[in-house]
Amino acid sequence: MDAFRALVYKCHLKDLGYEGVPYTWFNKRGPQDSISERLDRCLANRKWCNLFPYASVIHGTVAHSSHILIILHLNGGSHRRRGKKPFRFEAMWVETEDYEKIIAKSWKEDTMNADLETLMDKIDSCSKSLIA
């Protein structure tokens, strides 16, 4: 950890902090053997901080991973988008019998050389199929 701190200092990076739970990883064990740590961080240099002075980091929730979702709001999270509600993956979908078929159908084409728009279209198609 000392080497990491030294590198952050040498590169003139700043930890952006966080809101929410104080850890980003846990070992998924029972209460007596549970370990939780803040492994994942958002770091930025002074120039980036000047470009995004209201940036904030939120530690979100976890569904099927030992890592907590990290959300970076460039405007401090104070501005809410109007219109379409953002897609949120629901853990219960994994339990449905056609879950894997829906995912496979949405991602059936090669994605190795796909551009960002193609990938976003696939995610949109997949989310619409899961919600339906």
Mind listing the pLDDT tens digit of every residue in the chain (132 residues)?
A: 788 889 888 999 998 988 887 777 777 777 777 787 777 888 999 899 888 888 988 887 765 667 778 889 888 654 454 556 666 777 777 777 888 888 888 777 666 666 777 777 777 788 778 776
Closest CA to 40 of 27, 55, 24, 26: 24
Cα distance between residue 29 and residue 50, in whole Å: 41
Q: What pTM does this model have?
A: 0.51
DSSP 13-47: -EE---EESS-SEE----GGG--EE-----EE-HH
Helix (H) or strand (E) holding 125: helix 116-131
Orientation angle between helical segments 99-106 and 116-131, nearest 10 degrees:
150
Which DSSP state fits 95? G
**Contact call for residues 15 and 8 (beta carbons, < 8 A):** yes
